[in-house]
Amino acid sequence: MDWKNLYKGFLMGTSDIIPGVSAGTIAVVVGVYDKVLESINGIFSREWKRHLLFLLPIAIGMLAAIGFLSNIMELLLEQFPQPTFFFFLGLIIGILPFLFIEAGAKTNFTARHYILLIIFGIAIASMRFFQEESNAAIWDTIGPTELVLLFLSGWMASSAMILPGVSGSFLLLLFGVYPTIIRAVSDFDLVILAVVGLGVILGLAIMSRLLHYLISNFSTMMYAIIIGMVSGSTIVIFPGLDGEILLSLITLCLGLAAAYALGKIEHSSKSKKL
């Protein structure tokens, strides 16, 4: 069990409550994406204890971030939306060079890989056209229909969580359940959290198997797709400029610096293992 993964899980959990930012992207940023997929699949194998011990600090970090930061993030997005998104924009842009190095793009990428990169980058960027402020009200009553929608929303959001560049929170916005789930987290509504959580668990179990197979057997192709999706996500989360330019530039630089630091930490960690 590596308790250093707590902070990685914390960063992933923070991204989960921000529409437009993907936990999968942050997992790539902090260098645990492949291992997370492998461990989720390994939970159902004979070596489940080893995989569970790897996932435990990440899960604790994610839950801590979601629990502690839901109110804070709601306030930041309400009061300082542009600087907040610029920080994550810097984080994502800053990690792209490390992704190209990790993929060995100079030697491994061919024309078809760059074509895949562009196609998936455009596909993710096109989600910008569907990005609108959610006008959905917080549900006052929860019936069978709402419970089914919450379960399906959790399923779809979890599938998006492990796809770099695709935001689970953004899908919750599209489903119209984001305000209700955020309040449930803040109020610790066990019924809503249990239903959404069940959908998340099943979605993770199924999608992780597919992605792990693809990464194991088509590594270079998947790196091209991941880099394209991460690149495209910068278009989705770009908030525009509405006057807080100086503060936004500062948070952008902080995001770039954080990405550089994380990349150096992961590179140093891998060098020591070698």
* DSSP code string of 142-164: --HHHHHHHHHHHHHHHHHHTST
The pLDDT value recorded for residue 250 is 93
The pLDDT value recorded for residue 259 is 77
Distance of CA 247 to the CA centre of its chain: 24
Give the ranges where 126-218 is alpha helix by DSSP (H). Answer: 144-161, 168-175, 178-187, 190-217
Token representation of residue 118? 């562009």
* Local confidence pLDDT in tens for the 274 residues of the chain: 677 788 888 888 877 776 656 777 778 777 788 788 888 888 877 888 888 888 899 889 888 888 787 777 767 777 888 888 888 788 778 878 877 887 888 899 999 999 999 999 998 888 777 655 444 555 666 778 888 888 988 888 777 667 766 667 767 766 777 778 877 877 788 888 899 889 888 888 787 788 778 878 888 998 898 888 888 878 877 888 887 889 999 999 998 888 777 666 665 555 555 4
The pLDDT value recorded for residue 117 is 94
Nearest Cα residue to 24 out of 266, 192, 262, 204: 204
Report how far residue 127's alpha carbon sits from residue 185's, in angstroms, rounded to the nearest whole number: 26
Angle, helices 219-237/81-103, rounded to nearest 10 degrees: 160
Cβ proximity of 158 and 205 under 8 Å:
no
- What is this structure's pTM? 0.68
228 SS3 class: helix
- Residue 217 CB neighbour total at 10 angstroms: 9
Query: What type of residue sits at position 190?
Result: L
Token representation of residue 259? 């990405």
